[in-house]
Amino acid sequence: MAEARTPHATGSLPDDEDARVFEAVGGDWSDIAEEAARLGEERIVVNMGPQHPSTHGVLRLMLEIDGETVTEARAGIGYLHTGIEKNMEFRTWTQGVTFCTRMDYVAPFSSEAAYCLAVEKLLGITEDVPERAQAVRVLLLELNRIASHLIAIGTGGNELGATTIMTISFTAREEILKIFELITGLRMNHAFIRPGGVAQDIPPGALDTVREAMPRVRTYLGQLGDLMLANPIYKGRTVGVGHLSLAGAMALGITGPVLRSAGLPYDVRKAFPYLGYETYDFDVPTSTDADAYARTVLRLEECYQSLRIVEQAVERLQQMGPGPVMVADKKVAWPAQLAIGADGMGNSLAHIKEIMGTSMESLIHHFKLVTEGFRVPAGEVWQTVEAPRGELGVHLVSDGGTRPYRAHFRDPSFNNLQGVSLMCEGGQVADVVVAVAGLDPVLGGVDR
């Protein structure tokens, strides 16, 4: 809606009786209906979501339509608001990992990595993190990128009625989730990447498991390509649909596969390397078609590039052999560099027995570290990583205490959702679902 105000009401324009200031304000369902009734116009407004399965669970779309054509599209968010950023102000720096891993729950390792890299910058220990821990992080991040893209491809196919695309994608993703469970003890919401390194080293046989799984994942990716890329029905539903130009994507701050589908090869792993990504050999695929089909092709190709990185990370870890995966500073390292308990969370019984039976100082230090946490020097830092959906940034502010003064995340899904109106307006109602699937938003990251 637009509300006309006189220049005298705002005090910002010259004294001109013909001048008007139009202030854009948000409107809910009832507001839109009331405005339509007041103007006497015949307007059909369709409320899609938040329960609609094609809106990825909790995204609400308000569509004004003329026949089958969408004339206006608005995205309504906030239905999954969890207060993660505010909650982090009341937890220790290490406990913050448990919160941020639940934002983009399809790609939790990206949030964990961005947050921990930022904490390490504030602590000044970036160079002290063991090389083995960095390689484990890269391994998990790239496996997670493949799993996330498989969700995007699978759910996008299912929303078009192609159930087989979904079943193959989820079967391939299951191979990766089994690896996550083997290494971290959990399939998602891992809280495995910690400030200073990772919670524990990968278990014996994990690298062999990864090697055995990757050919199966590659086979599934080939099947998905055969099912979609030359399929006339799939191409008919996606080619030219959800078009978003490079200028539009850059103006809205859209990143990730959506931006690269418009021709710009921007990837944080190449532009601002972290975790030693500059030492890995991989390419950044792009397209200039800027439609839903191009985004599917790019995500498939990015999966193959991630497989290349995974193979390199596995080889490095094999050559390194066993070693530390947490900084040596005992004032930061938590849990201590010993095996964690059978529940995957607490310290092992052997460690508890040692600190309780042999050293009172160790027991006191352990108690303070777990309950109070370590202190981080005052300051602020900005850290970005290339998440599966685009550039994920974290702004951390410390006042010198044991918990963040402020934590704010730039989630790529939040920015990417701004493209909904540009991608949908002027198109068919049925194409809205395709456009949203091409964006691949995860509302846990949007609402936080």
Residue at 247 is within a domain: yes
pTM: 0.84
Residues 22-59 pLDDT 10s:
455 556 667 766 776 776 666 787 887 766 555 556 78
- Round to whole Å and give the CA distance between 279 and 67: 54
Residues 224 and 126 in one domain: yes
- Round to whole Å and give the CA distance between 155 and 435: 12
Residue 184 burial (10 A CB sphere; 0-12, 13-18, 19+):
buried
Range of the domain at 39: 2-76
- Which of 52, 76, 100 lies at the terminal end of a domain, its last residue? 76
pLDDT at 3: 42
pLDDT at 10: 39
- Is the pLDDT assigned to residue 16 strictly greater than 60? no
Residue at 245 is within a domain: yes
Residues 198 and 52 in one domain: no
Residues 171 and 24 in one domain: no
Q: What is the mean pLDDT of residues 148-157?
A: 90
Question: Total structural domains in the chain?
Answer: 2
Structure tokens at 219: 């086979």
- Round to whole Å and give the CA distance between 21 and 5: 5
What angle separates helix 206-228 from helix 163-184, to the nearest 10 degrees?
A: 170
Residues 59 and 186 in one domain: no
